[in-house]
Amino acid sequence: MSPISPTTVQAPNGVTRGVPHETLLPPEVKPQRGMSLANKVTIFRILLVPAFVASLVYYHPDRDWFRFLSLGLFMVAIASDALDGFLARVCHQQTEFGTLLDPIADKALILSALISCSTIHGLPESMRIPAWFNLVVISRDALLVTGTLVLFSIQGRWSVRPSWLGKCTTVAQMLVIPSVLLGWSLKPWLLGIATVLTVLSAIGYVRRGLRTVVS
């Protein structure tokens, strides 16, 4: 929301004063204040991250229900991702803060899941993710963060607009987690697809960033 600029009015004593536009609006028209519902859903997704990690930390073959708990928390987080996107588009709750917060929530969820499934020693081999996949994902994200900071230093504003390939990459990375938690035989294929999309999306973002700098 853009800042409220004052409107000049004449007071009874002849003094000209600046009055915010919101005080001149009819009673039935009120500017939106506070955090939107879409952003609240996004923050809820971020708060699910420590609970998801804890369910993996306390997993043991004798407590196999922790695996299904972690899967349930992850699926709720994915559903919240779809919900906040729906609210932002359909209910016109798109904000600059939400545009920045949503990918942060996605990255926090995905990276915490990938790193946990790679480093927690108590997990069986079927629930583990190879370190090389994490290296590819983290390298791509580090590249994007660096590029975003460079563009911010040049343009003086955030420009966080995921490409369709970037969105497909996020979906592919998210699908890796349920395949690991459920022990799907498709896990190697999903890892391969997610790796290819991760690399291609990184190349696409670099090319788009270079075009922005040149123009």
Task: Read off the pLDDT of residues 47-58 as tens digits, 9 standing for 90 and up.
Answer: 999 999 999 999
What confidence score (pLDDT) does residue 158 get?
62
* 21 within some domain: no
What confidence score (pLDDT) does residue 157 get?
67
φ, ψ (nearest 5 deg) of residue 9: -130, 160
Tokens of 160: 């966080």
What is the 8-class DSSP label of residue 36? -
How many distinct structural domains can be found in the chain? Answer: 1
* 15 within some domain: no
* 85 within some domain: yes
Mean pLDDT, range 143-155, rounded to an integer: 82
**Is 122's pLDDT higher than 90?**
no
- The model's pLDDT over 173-185, given as tens digits with 9 standing for 90+, comes to 999 999 999 988 8
**Is 21's pLDDT higher than 60?**
no
What CATH number does residue 151 fall under?
1.20.120.1760
Consecutive H or E run containing 6: strand 6-10
Give the residue, 35 or 194, on which the prediction is more confident. 194
**Is 194's pLDDT higher than 60?**
yes
The boundaries of the domain holding residue 145 are 38-214
* 199 within some domain: yes
CB 109 within 8 A of CB 79: no
* 186 within some domain: yes
Three-state DSSP state, 124: coil
Mean pLDDT, range 119-130, rounded to an integer: 90
What confidence score (pLDDT) does residue 119 get?
93
* 30 within some domain: no
Q: Tell whether pTM > 0.85.
A: no
What confidence score (pLDDT) does residue 11 get?
47
Instruction: Centre a 10 Å sphere on the Cβ of residue 167 and count the other Cβ atoms it contains.
Output: 14
**Is 12's pLDDT higher than 80?**
no
Band (pLDDT 50/70/90 cuts) for residue 145 is confident
Residue type, 89: R
64/42 Cα distance (integer angstroms): 29
What confidence score (pLDDT) does residue 25 get?
38
* 138 within some domain: yes
* 183 within some domain: yes
- The model's pLDDT over 129-143, given as tens digits with 9 standing for 90+, comes to 999 999 999 999 999
